[in-house]
Amino acid sequence: MKKLIKSLIKIFFVIVMPLISVALLFTFTMAKATTTVINTLGACVEEPFPITGIVLITVSTFILAVIVSKYLHYVHMLPKVTIEFLPMVGVGMGFDKDFKRVPSVHILLPLCALEITQHSKR
């Protein structure tokens, strides 16, 4: 459970927040550009503080994402996938539960075998 919570925290800070920040910056900039064009025709000038604030929030979000990624480098968000090319034709799926290794799932495709495992604990 602790590993899942750390993984969710890393996903939120490294993937979700930067995407939301960029989407917010893009949306606000496009909305501001259209209102500025309309207001320029009416001789009304608006101050650029909101755009500057959102740019600073976006930059700080990316800095936070780098810091979280650096300090939570041992938390893996995705499983480890190994691909092998084999001279075989067939389709199958199997579960390998070996007591010495981490459990893994094997997927056999024509001319290819995928092994999906968890990252081992350190």
Dump pLDDT digits (tens) for 55-75: 888 899 999 888 888 888 777
Q: What is the pLDDT of residue 70?
A: 85
Burial class from Cβ neighbours inside 10 Å (0-12, 13-18, 19+) for residue 68 reads middle
- Residue-averaged pLDDT of the chain: 80
User: pTM of the full predicted structure?
Assistant: 0.56
Cβ–Cβ under 8 Å, residues 14 and 69? yes
pLDDT of residue 19: 92
In whole angstroms, what is the distance from residue 16 CA to residue 95 CA?
32
Q: What is the pLDDT of residues 26-60, one digit of tens each?
A: 888 777 766 655 555 555 555 555 777 888 888 99
Give the strand pairing for 92-96 and 112-117.
Answer: unpaired
